[in-house]
Amino acid sequence: MTDRIEKSDAEWRAQLSPEQYRISRQRGTEPAFSGAYWDNHEDGVYRCVGCGTPLFDASTKYDSGSGWPSFWAPVEPAVVEETEDRSHGMRRVEIHCARCGGHLGHVFPDGPRPTGLRYCINSASLDLGPRHT
């Protein structure tokens, strides 16, 4: 993993749209079935909106029925970090970009094979672009 990115709150606010800031820097959540990528079927790589780190390949995306983009694995385990989230009266595993700390969403143990995981991600935390070789 590359060097960690640290920015001030003012720098994040200047870089991100208000919705991207609310979700990625303040641990927000977009409403189900509202994000740009929940029903997107384009090929490519989903990158962190904060730092551009490749997070999820479109080949691992699937329709979970949840209303958020869902993936069965990140491009590599080191690109995401997990923390316990006990907000909203639930016990979940929150995931963040390992490089800039941006909130991405949550991971659940109810996904498809081969991992059995469902990485449920906010569209506002992602940018979809072509694969770079």
What residue ranges define each of the domains in the chain, with the CATH number in brackets? 9-129 (2.170.150.20)
pTM of the model: 0.93
Per-residue pLDDT tens over the stretch 66-121: 999 999 999 999 999 998 877 767 778 999 999 999 999 999 999 999 999 999 99
- Residues labelled as active-site residues: 120
Residue 127: the pLDDT is: 97
Per-residue pLDDT tens over the stretch 22-65: 999 999 999 999 999 999 999 999 999 999 999 999 999 999 99
Residue 106: the pLDDT is: 94
Residue 2: the pLDDT is: 59
Per-residue pLDDT tens over the stretch 9-33: 999 999 999 999 999 999 999 999 9
Degrees to nearest 5, angle at CA 86 with 7 and 98: 30
Cα distance between residue 129 and residue 103, in whole Å: 19
Half-sphere exposure of 40 (CA within 13 A, CB side): 25
CB 123 within 8 A of CB 18: no
